[in-house]
Structure 1
Amino acid sequence: MLKAADTLGVVFFPAYDWAISPTHPERQERLLYTQDQLREEGLFDIPGVREYKPDVALAHDVDLAHFTFPGVEEVLTSSHLVSAGGAMRAARLVMEREARRAFALVRPPGHHAMKVVHGTRGFCTVNVEAVMVETLRERYGVRRIAIVDTDCHHGDGTQDVYWHDPDVLFISLHQDGRTIYPGSGFPYELGGPTAMGSTCNIPLLPGTGDQGILHMLDHVVLPLIERFRPEIVINSAGQDNHFSDPITNMNFTAQGYAELTRRLGADIAVLEGGYSIQGALPYVNLGICLAMAGIDASGVVEPQYDPERVKQEQRITDYTLSLSDQLMSYFLDPPAMPKHGKAEGEWFVREKEVHYDTDAIFERQREKVLLCPDCSGVVSIESRADSGPLCLGVQIPPGACDACRERGHEEFETGQRSRNYRRAMLVDRPGRAVKRVLI
C-alpha cells in the first residue's frame, strides 16, 4: 500500500466563474481534467495526502504585495482573491505543521502581475506567490525566501515585485525571451542596486527537454539556493514547458517535471501556466504531487509521450552545458549596479513601460529606490496608465532603518501635498500599516 513519505496538502481551486473567454486556454476546464485525474488515480486515498479548500485573501493581504490602482476592489475579482487565498492556505499548512509540503492548484495564475497593478497582463492580475510570501513574513516572521519559477514564460511580475529585495532570491528558468512572451528574463537582469544578485534568470533554447532543464537545476539553481540558505523554498510550478503545450516550444515531460520536483524539494508549490489541459496537466500535476509526497512517480506517463519526439538535440545539449558554466560565474560575481537606470543624488531611478496585453492598458513608470547603506531602501513609484490618472506608490521595506522609515513617510506626504497625484498609497512594512488616499 502506498504511503506518503512526506505529508502533502493539496489546495484545490479551479475558479468555475472566471475565464478569459470560453475557448481561451485560461478557462475553467484547465483544472477540471486534473481534478478528475487525481481522484481517479486515488491520490487522496494515500495516507498522508489530503485535499484542502483555499482561504480568501483580503485587500490588506494584496496591499502588502502590490500597489493596486485605483484599488483592490476595482481591479480584482473574487476568483483572484480565492486564488491568492489558496496560496496563503498552502503556506499556512506548512508553517503550522499540518503538512510537510503543500501544492496550491489554483487559478487564475499570477507570476506576470508586477508591483504596480492596473489590470491583467499575461492572464495574471494578482501575484499569488507574492501575496503568499508577504503572508509568510507578516504572520510567521519568515525572512529569507527562495522562489524558483519553472514556468516556460519568464516570471517578470515576481521579478518586479522583489527587484529591490535582497532577502528574496528569485530564480526563473524559462524559454529564451527573444522567442516568447514577455520578451524578458535575460541574465543581466540581476535586481536593483540594493539587491544585485538576488534575481537570477536562466534563458533556455526552444526545444530544451528533460536533459537540459535538469542540468540547469543541478548546476545552477540548486547551488544558488544552497549559497543563499533560504528558510523556505517556493516553486512557481508552471507546466507549459511540456512538449504538448500549444503556446510554447519546449520538450519537457511529465517524468521530467516529477524529477525536477523531487530534486528541488520545495516546501510549497503554486500552479502557474500550462495550457495542454488534457494531454499534459493531469499527468504533470499527478507527477508533481507524488514527488512532493516522496512517492515513486515513475509510472506517470502522458498519452502522447514518444521518446524520439522529445529527444533533445545535441546542439541544445552543447549550448546548455556551456551556458550553465557562464551563468554561475556571472551570478556569483555580478556587476556593482544594474544595466538599466541611473543614480540621481540619493536615489537610483529607472523608467519603465508596461503593456497589459490582456486588458489593452499601457502604463509608464518612474521608479526610485533610496540608496541606503543600512537597508534595502525606500521604493517610490510614479505610475500613469492610459486607463487612469497619475498615481504614487511608496514602500518602506521589511527591516528598514529608522532613517528610511522617516524618508518613506516624507515621500508619501510630499506626494499628497504636491497635488500631482490623484491616488497615493503607502506601505510601511515595519509599522504593519497601509495608507490609501484619493487626492
Structure 2
Amino acid sequence: MLRAINKTGLVFFPAFDWAISPTHPEREERLLYTQDQVFEEGILDIEGIIEYKPDLVTKKDVQRVHFCVPDLWAVMTESHFISAGGAKTIAMAVMDKNVERGFALVRPPGHHANRVVHGARGFCNVNIEAIMIEYIRQAYGVKRVAIVDTDCHHGDGTQDIYWHDPDTLFISIHQDGRTLYPGSGFLSELGGPNAVGTTINIPLPPNTSEEGILHAVREVVMPILDEFQPEIVVNSAGQDNHYSDPITNMNFSARGYAELTTLLKPDIAVLEGGYAIEGALPYVNAGIILAMAGMDYSHLREPDYDPVKVRQSAEVTRWVHKTCDKVLENWHQRQHLAEMYRGDYQLMNRDRNIYYDTDNIHEHQQETIRVCDDCGGAFKIDSAAQGMKHILAVHIPRNTCETCRKQGYQWYDSADAARYDKVCLQDRAGDVMAEKTT
C-alpha cells in the first residue's frame, strides 16, 4: 500500500452555488476536474492522506481581518463562509497535529481582497488566507507567519492587510504588474513605516518558465525564510502561472509546481487562481498534493507538455536574475531603508485610489498610521466609495504598545459620527470588534 511520508490533510469545496457567471473563468469546474483526477488516481486511498469536510468561519473570524461595507452580510455569501472555513479547517488540523501539512482546495479565492471591502476585486470578496491566519493567531498563539503567494497575479489584498505587520512576512512571486492585473507588486513596495522589508515582491517577466520561478524560490525565498524564522509557512497556491492558462503569460508546468512545493515545504497551502480547468488544474493540484505528502511525482506530466516550447529565453533569464539580486539587496538593506522612509515623523499618511474591477467600484482611502518602535502601530482609514458608504476604520494591532492602544481608542472615541455612515474598530490586542453608526 502507498503511504504518505508527511501526513497530509485535504479539503475540497467547489462552491456549486457561486459563480460570477456560468461561463466565467472563476466557476465550480475549476475544482470538479481536480476532484475527478484525485479520485481516479486513488490519491485519497493513500495511507496518510486524509480528507476533511469544511466547517464555517464565524462573523468574528471575518471581522478580525476586514472592515466590510456597508456590512458583512453585503460582502459574504454562504460559499464565502465555507471557502474561508475550509482553510480554517485545514489550519486547525495542522495546528492540532492531526496532520503535518494541509491543502485547502476551495473557492471562491481571496488574495485580492483588502482590509476594507466595498465589493469584489479580482474575483475575491474576502481574504480567506488572512481570515485563517488571524484565527490561528488568536486560537493558538502563533506570532510569526510567512505567506508565500505563488499566484501569477500579485496578491495585492494580502499585501494590504499585512502592510503594517512586522510579524508577517509576505512574499509574492508574480507576473510583472506592468503586464497583468492588478498592476502592482513592484520592487519598491516594501511595507509600511513600522514593517519595512516584510513585504517582498518578485515581479517576473512574461514567458518566465519553471527555470526562472524555481530560481527565485531557491535563491531568494528560501534564504529569506531561513532568516525570518516563521512559526508557520502558508502558500497562497495560485496555479495560473501554468503555460496553458488563458488569462496569463507564464510558462510553468505541473511538475514545476510540485518542485516548488517540495522546496517551500509549506505547512498550509490554499488554492487561489488557475483557470486552465482541464489542461492544468488536475495535474497541478495532484502534483502539489503528492509533494506535500512527500511522495514521488516524477511521473507527473500534462499530455501536451513540451519543455522546448515553454523554455524561457536568455533575455528572460537575465531579467529574472537581475530582479532576484535587487530583491535580496533590498532585504539586506531593510533597516537602512526603514530609517530613510520613517524620518522623524510621528504620524504618516497614505492616500490610495482602489478599483474593484469585478464590481466596478472606485474607492478612495486616506490612511494615517502612528510610527512606532515598539509595535506594528495603530492606524485609521478614512474610506469612501462612490454610491457606497463612507466609513472610518480604526485598527489596533495584536502586539500593541500602550501608546498605540490609546491612540487607536482616541481616534475611535473622538470620531465625528456625523461625517461617516459608520465608525469601526478592530482591537486585535483585546480581540474586540466594535462599530457605531449615525
TM-score (normalised: structure 1)? 0.97
Aligned residue number for residue 432 of structure 1: 431
Corresponding letter in the other structure for 2:27: R
Equivalent residue number for residue 406 of structure 1: 406
CA–CA distance in 1 between the matches of 2:125 and 2:302?
31
Q: Which amino acid aligns with 1:242?
A: H
User: SS at 1:12's partner residue?
Assistant: strand
Contact 1:113/1:125, CA 8 A, preserved across alignment: yes
Tell me what 2:258 maps to.
258
Letter of the aligned partner of 2:296 in structure 1? D
User: 1:34 is matched by which residue type in structure 2?
Assistant: T
1:397 match: 397
Paired position in structure 1 for 2:128: 128
Q: CA deviation at 1:343?
A: 8.0
Counterpart CA distance in 1 for 2:384 and 2:357 is 16
Counterpart residue number, 1:336: 337
1:302-341 aligned within 5 A: 302-334=302-334, 336-337=337-338
Contact 1:348/1:370 (8 A) holds in 2 = yes
Letter in structure 2 aligned against 1:425: C
The residue aligned with 2:186 is 186
Aligned residues: 437
Q: CA RMSD in A?
A: 1.4
| TM-score of the pair, normalised by structure 2 | 0.97
The percent identity for this pair of structures is 55
The residue number in structure 1 matching 2:51 is: 51
Contact 1:193 1:336 in 2 (8 A): no
Q: CA deviation at 1:387?
A: 3.0
Equivalent residue runs for 1:210-225 within 5 Å: 210-225=210-225
Distance 2:55 2:275 in 1: 25
8 A contact 1:188–1:339 mirrored in 2: no
- 1:345, distance to aligned residue in structure 2 (A): 5.7
Cα offset for 1:418? Answer: 4.5
CA offsets 1:283-330 (integer angstroms, 9 cap, x no match): 000000000000011111112211111112111112222322222112
Whole-angstrom CA distance in 2 between matches of 1:278 and 1:35 = 12
> Which whole-Å deviations, capped at 9, do the CAs of 1:42-101 have from their partners, x for residues lacking one?
000000001111110111101101111111112111111111111111110100011100
Q: Structure 1 residues 278, 241: CA separation in 2 closer, same or farther (over 3 Å shift)? A: same
For residue 135 of structure 1, report the CA deviation from its aligned partner: 0.7
What's the CA shift string for 1:382-439, capped at 9, x where partnerless? 0001132320110100110112111111100111x45211111101111111102222
Partner of 2:110 in structure 1?
110
CA contact (8 A) 1:191 1:338 kept: no
* Aligned CA distance change for structure 1 residues 424 and 158 (closer, same or farther; 3 Å): same
Q: Is the 8 A contact 2:417 2:437 kept in 1?
A: no
| Residue in structure 1 matched with residue 283 of structure 2 by the alignment | 283
Q: Deviations over 1:354-393 (max 9, x none)?
A: 1000001110000111112221110100000113232011
Measured after TM superposition, the shift of residue 169 of structure 1 is 0.0
Task: Give secondary structure in 2 for the equivalent of 1:211.
Answer: helix
Aligned AA (1:115): R
Alignment partners' CA distance in 1, 2:110 and 2:12: 16
Distance 1:427 1:31 in 2: 34
Q: Give the stretch that moved more between structures: 239-248 or 307-316.
A: 307-316
Instruction: Please name the residue that 2:33 is paired with.
Output: 33
Matches within 5 A, 1:325-364: 325-334=325-334, 336-337=337-338, 346-364=346-364
Structure 2 counterpart of 1:429, which letter?
R
Give the structure 2 partner of residue 248 of structure 1. 248
Deviation at 1:344, TM superposition (A): 9.9
